[in-house]
Chain A
Amino acid sequence: MSLVKVLKPDELARIDFRPPRTGWMDTPAEFKPGTWCYSAAPKNLKYLDLPNPREWQPPDADWKLPVNWKEIILGGFKDRLEKYRSFRLFMDICVRCGACADKCHFFIGSGDPKNMPVLRAELLRSIYRRYFTPSGRVLGKLAGARDLTVEVLKEWFYYFYQCTECRRCSVFCPYGIDQAEITMIGRELLNLVGCNINWIIEPAANCFRTGNHLGLQPHGIKDMLDFFADDIEERTGIRVEVPINRKGAEILFVTPSGDLFADPGTFTCMGYLMLFHEIGLDYTLSTYASEGGNFGLFTSHEMMKRLNAKIYAEARRLRVKWILGGECGHMWRVIHQYMDTLNGPADFLEEPVSPITGAKFENARATKMVHIMEFTADLIRHKKLKLEPSRNDHLRVTFHDSCNPSRAMGLFEEPRYVMRNVCNNFYEMPENTIREQTFCCGGGAGLGTDENLEMRMRGGLPRAKAVKHVHEKHGVNRLACICAIDRATLHSLMEYWVPEVGVTGVHEMVANALVMKGEKERTADLRGEPLKGMETSPNA
């Protein structure tokens, strides 16, 4: 599971919350193994026309920065102060009340004061004051200002790639200061001088070329989907059609590519295919727009726009009426809060209406893209699905609210409504760890890579401990989520902190419970694990 040596859980859980003796301006970032991500490979930067492609790694003394790097950073800083009210305001109005301090999962898991959102933001604010405010120019350190040096840049890199843009701090901030916004701009600045990480830039480059983060080519996507259809046939006796790149379909379905590739996301994807087959949905997948996620969000606003453009372009080419989106976290931040602004207006599409129930999705009237949870909740509400929740009785489930659908959308009741209808054993985690107060998986915003494993386990600690609580109290053995990054990272997180608990997408559970017309007797769930009472069945 790991490329680096990670402490045992009980050692890792001993966290020292005492700040260092030296002030934060005098405490440089230390690149300890397991707490940072590899730099972006030059070929990926070149593919995306991003600046300063070169071989380097964060622990190196020389980062091979352009000669005029300082000028570039300060120029970029000024530009962004003028372009984003959010950025200027968040540089100006923080009172350092500290309400955000213990809200960050990385702070809770590491005790490092620079993981308090307030201090992470001060890393930029100190430079803002020094170069862009009169008091900082004159009073220097006394006004909380400091010079921009290579050490500062390294510190930015270390801590802006130690923030998952989860926005939990912004829920508690009395002025709504959003560290995600500050991290996004911080990363944009770092990108100007070529300081970025491969776990983000490679998926972005892949996505630009092949349409998806994993770099799956069209025939590869078809193979995977055919393979899913085979598996579904084996479980249910029903052969589902998987329409790909089909012009004239009513709906374009876009989902994160992670679900095509690795368990347990694959089961979620099978769940979609079964559901769409059962309701007879007139839809198509696309190999060109084969990615709902958008690692541009973790790179720059411009990259987000470049990668997102495919979705509307493909909807137009395939002449669909509207777009349906799968279970994914940051994808929905982009779709919900950015897509229409970036690449709209979607005036060539129609206002989304469920072809099965006739329900209008009025909340998606302009963007014309509907979340699968809204879609399925509506189906269940209108009793269009025949469900047998006891088929999930071998599972005792809790639900992890993914950061972005929670704090950038407010999608709370839809998944819960679906879950309550497809399983009988559902237990909530403690209230300060769910809904708008949910904790990140520790690997979002492009940090879910194995060389960063210690930091991920630290960042995921609050989530994992909350799962452990319901595991011990209610015997929970399955953690449901609606995010592809979650399905990848929570898996390692559970293995490390609560090995008894597995991870599932919600539509995997929907598919388990879904009674399909003409299906054979089901003895096992999608994973081939026997259903409750079927443990001795020869078919299982």
Chain B
Amino acid sequence: MNIWFPLLAVAILVLIPLGGVGGANWSYLFGIVIPYIAFGAFLIGFIYRLVQWGRSPVPFRIPTTCGQQKSLPWIKTNFFDNPYNGVGVIGRMALEALLFRSLFRNTKMELKGDRPVYGGAKWLWLAGLVFHWSLLFILLRHLRFFLTPAPFWVDLLAGIDGFFEIGVPTLFLTDAAIMLAVTYLYLRRVVIPQIRYISLPSDYFPLLLILSVLLSGFLMRHFYKVDILRVKELVSGWISFSPVAVEGIGLSFYVHLFLVSVLLAYFPMSKLMHMGGVFLSPTRNLANNSRLRRHVNPWDYPVKVHTYEEYEDEFREKMKAAGLPVDKE
């Protein structure tokens, strides 16, 4: 069920716009209403989740230290894996967010005879990195639909991305790379027994949904072509808040748009929120300076302790007999 249900769900999601626009011609609904609702849900949901996390207190300073601490002046500190100040934390978070530092450490345990050995295992890191960076490139490339004229750097990105000029229109390297990466991420979930065992429908679903977004976009660009000028017309309607339903764009566009809308609306209630959450993780975004600077727990409260007086009252005679000093004779 965990594997099949998400597949079925995504198949249905593809059929909905095919029926809705191809069959019933509800282009206003699919071109304007749903995208607006989805984007609104994304924006409000994303902010709501961040605020919810951000408002919850951080009672203790609990960074996970992955390198030498700062202690004696003659011992070399590992500034980024065990930061002791804000600059170090920014560095650590940048390495984490941009290069997936922690995942880069990944190892794979294998039994060699009766001894576990730990080899490098960079594929997950590589696929994750390729996926996320490609996605960013693709999103930025999409700016050319929103900005007229497109800024030079968007064209530059597209130029780099399409550098090899394979086919017409040119194949974007990120398109190929991201589909490979997502396919790998999906297949490892299905194939590796342990990963399959832990995977929930909500793990397969976003991967399949993203893959369907990618495929629909890819097919639209290369095979089921649409009228770009009319797409831009629709988009400029969105961003000027005077949306107009545009006829004759082409069905594949609506499939792509609907899947993106679903992804946006789904985003805030899903694990995809790790995008925002990673920056708030207390084991990563706090400096390891707990003994240097006091950290205050906002909800601290007094607790019942056993005082020295109570202790001495119980053991005074024994202490005196053993020649230990006491406060009260």
Count of A-B residue pairs with CB < 8 Å: 316
Extra contacts, 9 of them, besides A171-B64, A413-B76 (Cβ < 8 A), are A24-B198, A86-B283, A98-B194, A102-B194, A108-B109, A167-B64, A176-B282, A336-B290, A365-B291
Given A85-B56, A365-B292, A366-B294, A302-B321 contact (CB < 8 Å)? no
Whether the Cβ atoms of A174 and B59 lie closer than 8 Å is no
**30 CB-based A-B contacts, threshold 8 Å:** A18-B193, A19-B194, A84-B57, A84-B59, A102-B108, A113-B194, A133-B269, A171-B66, A172-B102, A172-B106, A172-B107, A174-B96, A176-B96, A218-B319, A247-B325, A288-B311, A306-B304, A306-B306, A341-B290, A341-B294, A341-B295, A341-B296, A369-B291, A378-B72, A407-B66, A411-B71, A430-B117, A432-B107, A436-B65, A468-B115
Chain B interface: which of A56-64, A88-96, A258-266, A383-391?
Answer: A88-96
Interface residues, chain B, with chain A CB atoms under 8 Å away: 1, 5, 49, 52-53, 56-72, 74-76, 78, 81-82, 84, 96, 100, 102-103, 105-109, 111, 114-118, 124, 128, 192-203, 269, 271, 273-274, 277-278, 280-284, 288-297, 299-300, 303-308, 311-312, 314-315, 318-319, 321-325, 327
Whether the Cβ atoms of A469 and B78 lie closer than 8 Å is no
- For B203, give its contact among A93, A95, A209, A437 (CB under 8 Å): A95
Closest to A417 in B: B75
Is A173 among interface residues, defined by CB-CB distance under 8 A?
Answer: yes
Whether the Cβ atoms of B198 and A113 lie closer than 8 Å is yes
Whether the Cβ atoms of A82 and B325 lie closer than 8 Å is no
Given A85-B53, A96-B198, A413-B68 contact (CB < 8 Å)? yes
Question: Which 5 A-B residue pairs are closest in the complex by CB-CB distance?
Answer: A410-B69, A219-B322, A93-B277, A432-B118, A176-B283
- Residues of chain A contacted by B118 (CB below 8 angstroms): 430, 432-433, 437
> CA–CA, A481 to B291, complex, Å?
23
Q: How far is the CB of B296 from chain A (nearest CB, A)?
A: 7
> CA–CA, A345 to B291, complex, Å?
11
Whether the Cβ atoms of A171 and B281 lie closer than 8 Å is no
- Residues of chain A contacted by B100 (CB below 8 angstroms): 174
Is A428 among interface residues, defined by CB-CB distance under 8 A?
Answer: no
Whether the Cβ atoms of B315 and A217 lie closer than 8 Å is yes
Whether the Cβ atoms of B305 and A309 lie closer than 8 Å is yes
Whether the Cβ atoms of A219 and B324 lie closer than 8 Å is yes
Q: How far is the CB of A363 from chain B (nearest CB, A)?
A: 5
- For A245, give its contact among B78, B106, B200, B325 (CB under 8 Å): B325
> CA–CA, A365 to B290, complex, Å?
10
Is A67 among interface residues, defined by CB-CB distance under 8 A?
Answer: no
Given A85-B280, A410-B65, A219-B321 contact (CB < 8 Å)? yes
- Residues of chain A contacted by B102 (CB below 8 angstroms): 99, 171-176
The bracket for how many chain A residues form the interface is: 35 or more
> CA–CA, A369 to B65, complex, Å?
19
- Residues of chain B contacted by A210 (CB below 8 angstroms): 311, 315
Q: How far is the CB of B16 from chain A (nearest CB, A)?
A: 19
Whether the Cβ atoms of A408 and B65 lie closer than 8 Å is yes
- For B74, give its contact among A174, A217, A345, A381 (CB under 8 Å): A381
Q: Scoring A residues 470 to 512 as 1 if CB is less than 8 Å from chain B, else 0, what string do you get? A: 0000000000000000000000000000000000000000000
- Residues of chain B contacted by A412 (CB below 8 angstroms): 67-69
Q: How far is the CB of A308 from chain B (nearest CB, A)?
A: 9
Q: Is the interface of B mostly helix, strand, loop or mixed?
A: loop
Is A516 among interface residues, defined by CB-CB distance under 8 A?
Answer: no
Interface residues, chain A, with chain B CB atoms under 8 Å away: 10, 13-15, 17-19, 23-24, 49, 81-86, 88-89, 92-99, 101-103, 108, 113, 116, 118-119, 122, 133-135, 142-144, 167, 170-178, 181, 208-211, 217-219, 222-223, 244-247, 287-288, 301-302, 305-306, 309-310, 313-314, 317, 335-338, 340-342, 344-345, 359, 361-367, 369, 371, 374, 377-378, 381, 406-414, 417, 430, 432-433, 436-437, 461-462, 465, 468-469
Q: How far is the CB of A51 from chain B (nearest CB, A)?
A: 14
Question: Which of B84, B281, B304 gathers most chain A CB within 10 Å?
Answer: B281
Whether the Cβ atoms of B116 and A465 lie closer than 8 Å is yes
> CA–CA, A433 to B118, complex, Å?
9
Whether the Cβ atoms of A344 and B325 lie closer than 8 Å is no
> CA–CA, A305 to B302, complex, Å?
9
Whether the Cβ atoms of A88 and B64 lie closer than 8 Å is no
- Residues of chain A contacted by B307 (CB below 8 angstroms): 313
- Residues of chain B contacted by A175 (CB below 8 angstroms): 102, 274, 277-278, 281, 284
- Residues of chain A contacted by B82 (CB below 8 angstroms): 410
Q: How far is the CB of A451 from chain B (nearest CB, A)?
A: 26
- Residues of chain B contacted by A337 (CB below 8 angstroms): 60-62, 290
> CA–CA, A24 to B199, complex, Å?
10
Given A366-B293, A410-B69, A95-B305 contact (CB < 8 Å)? no
- Residues of chain B contacted by A338 (CB below 8 angstroms): 60, 290
Given A93-B277, A175-B277, A218-B324 contact (CB < 8 Å)? yes
- Residues of chain B contacted by A371 (CB below 8 angstroms): 71
> CA–CA, A473 to B165, complex, Å?
55
Whether the Cβ atoms of B277 and A89 lie closer than 8 Å is yes
